[in-house]
C-alpha cells in the first residue's frame, strides 16, 4: 500500500512533465526592417507558450552569406527572393518550406531641414544633395529603390547623389543624423523614425512588388519548433502585429511572383 501511495505521489508531482518536452529555443535570421515587428511577435509567441525565439537581424544579403557559411539558424526571413535564392542555391533550405510571408512598399523620408518633397521627381532638385539608400548592388531595399528610379527615368540623374549604406535602417539613420537630406526606405521603417519626416509612400504601376519570403533551414535541429513558429507568423495574431508595424501579410490565395521557382504559397 505504501508503494502505491508513493507511486501516486510521484505521479502527481511529475505527471505534467513526464512524456512532455519544453519548446526549444530557435534562432531566426530576419531582414532588419522586421526587427520591431518581430520583437513584438516574439513576446506574443512566448506568452502563448510557444517558447523562446532569438532574432538575428541585419541586411538580408549579410544574413544569407552567414547562413551559406554555416551559421546555426533555424528560420530565415529575407526582404527579397534573390537573397533567399542564394541560400537555396547553396542547398541550405528545407525542401518545400519556403513561403511568401509579407509585402511592403517603398517610402521617401526627408530631414527636417529638407525642402518639401511630394513626388519622386522632387528628389532631383538641387537642395537634395545626398540621398541615402541600401547598397543598390546587394541590399534588397536598395535594389528595389534602384529598380523604381530606373522605371521613372531618374536613376542617372540621382546616382551621383546616392549614399549607399549597409541596410535600410542605416539609410533612415543617415537622414536622422543629418548625413543625408533624404532616403528611400520601406513604409514599415517610418514607424521607427524619430527625426525623419515621411514625404510619401511609393505607389502606382511602376512601384516595385516587395515580398518577404520565409523558409526553414535544412540544418535545423528543431524542425517541429521552427514549423510551429512559421505557422504562428502566418496566423491572425502575428498578422495584426505586422499590420501595426506597416507590413501587409501575404494572403494564402495570392500567387507570388518571385525569382525563378523559389517561393510558393502553401
The pLDDT value recorded for residue 12 is 40
The pLDDT value recorded for residue 190 is 95
Whether residue 6 has pLDDT greater than 90: no
Q: pLDDT band for position 55 (50/70/90)? A: very high
Exposure class string for 5-27: b at 16+ Cβ within 10 A, else e: eeeeeeeeeeeeeeeeeebbebb
Whether residue 254 has pLDDT greater than 80: no
The pLDDT value recorded for residue 20 is 54
In the block, residue with C-alpha cell 532631383: 124
Share of the chain above pLDDT 70, in %: 87
Q: Average of pLDDT values for 76-80?
A: 98
Whether residue 128 has pLDDT greater than 50: yes
Q: Average of pLDDT values for 150-171?
A: 98
The pLDDT value recorded for residue 241 is 98
Condensed to tens digits (0 to 9), the pLDDT of residues 185-229 reads 999 999 999 999 999 999 999 999 999 999 999 999 999 999 999
- The neighbour count for residue 112, using CB atoms within 10 Å, is 10
Please, which residues have CB within 8 angstroms of residue 137's CB and are 6 or more apart in sequence? 143, 164
Q: pLDDT band for position 266 (50/70/90)? A: very low
Alpha carbon distance 155, 234 (integer Å): 36
Condensed to tens digits (0 to 9), the pLDDT of residues 9-27 reads 434 444 444 445 789 999 9
Alpha carbon distance 229, 67 (integer Å): 19
Whether residue 259 has pLDDT greater than 60: no
CATH topology of domain 106-201: D-Maltodextrin-Binding Protein; domain 2 (3.40.190)
Q: Do domains 24-103+211-249 and 106-201 have the same CATH topology?
A: yes
Torsion of CA 215, 216, 217, 218, to 10 degrees: -120
Q: Which helix (H) or strand (E) holds 100?
A: strand 99-104
What are the boundaries of each domain within the chain?
A: 24-103+211-249, 106-201
In the block, residue with C-alpha cell 506568452: 47
Apex CA 222: angle with CA 217 and CA 224, to 5°? Answer: 95
Architecture of the 24-103+211-249 domain: 3-Layer(aba) Sandwich (3.40)
Q: Would you mind telling me the total number of residues written for the chain in this entry?
A: 266
C-alpha cell of 110?
526627408
What is the sign, positive or negative, of the torsion defined by CA atoms of 109, 203, 155, 83? positive
Q: Average of pLDDT values for 88-108?
A: 98
Amino acid at each position: 500500500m505504501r508503494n502505491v501511495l508513493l507511486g501516486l505521489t510521484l505521479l502527481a508531482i511529475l505527471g505534467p512533465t513526464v512524456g512532455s518536452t519544453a519548446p526549444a529555443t530557435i534562432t531566426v535570421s530576419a531582414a532588419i526592417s522586421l526587427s520591431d515587428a518581430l520583437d513584438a511577435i516574439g513576446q506574443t509567441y512566448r506568452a502563448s507558450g510557444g517558447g523562446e525565439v532569438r532574432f538575428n537581424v541585419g541586411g538580408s544579403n549579410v544574413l544569407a552569406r552567414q547562413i551559406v557559411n554555416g551559421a546555426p539558424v533555424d528560420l530565415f526571413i529575407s526582404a527579397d527572393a534573390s537573397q533567399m535564392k542564394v541560400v537555396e542555391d547553396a542547398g541550405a533550405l528545407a525542401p518545400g518550406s519556403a513561403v511568401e510571408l509579407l509585402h511592403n512598399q517603398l517610402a521617401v523620408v526627408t530631414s527636417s531641414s529638407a525642402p518639401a518633397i511630394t513626388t519622386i521627381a522632387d528628389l532631383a532638385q538641387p537642395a537634395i544633395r545626398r540621398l541615402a539608400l541600401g547598397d543598390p548592388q546587394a541590399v534588397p531595399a536598395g535594389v528595389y529603390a534602384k529598380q523604381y528610379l530606373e522605371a521613372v527615368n531618374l536613376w542617372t540623374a540621382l546616382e551621383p547623389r546616392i549614399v549607399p549604406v549597409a541596410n535600410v535602417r542605416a539609410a533612415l539613420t543617415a537622414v536622422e543624423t543629418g548625413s543625408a537630406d533624404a532616403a528611400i526606405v520601406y513604409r514599415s521603417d517610418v514607424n521607427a523614425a524619430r527625426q525623419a519626416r515621411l514625404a510619401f509612400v511609393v505607389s502606382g504601376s511602376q512601384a516595385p512588388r516587395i515580398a518577404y519570403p520565409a523558409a526553414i533551414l535544412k540544418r535545423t535541429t528543431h524542425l517541429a519548433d521552427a514549423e510551429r513558429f512559421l505557422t504562428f507568423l502566418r496566423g491572425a495574431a502575428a498578422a495584426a502585429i505586422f499590420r501595426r508595424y506597416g507590413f501587409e501579410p501575404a494572403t494564402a490565395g495570392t500567387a507570388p511572383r518571385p525569382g525563378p521557382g523559389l517561393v510558393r504559397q502553401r
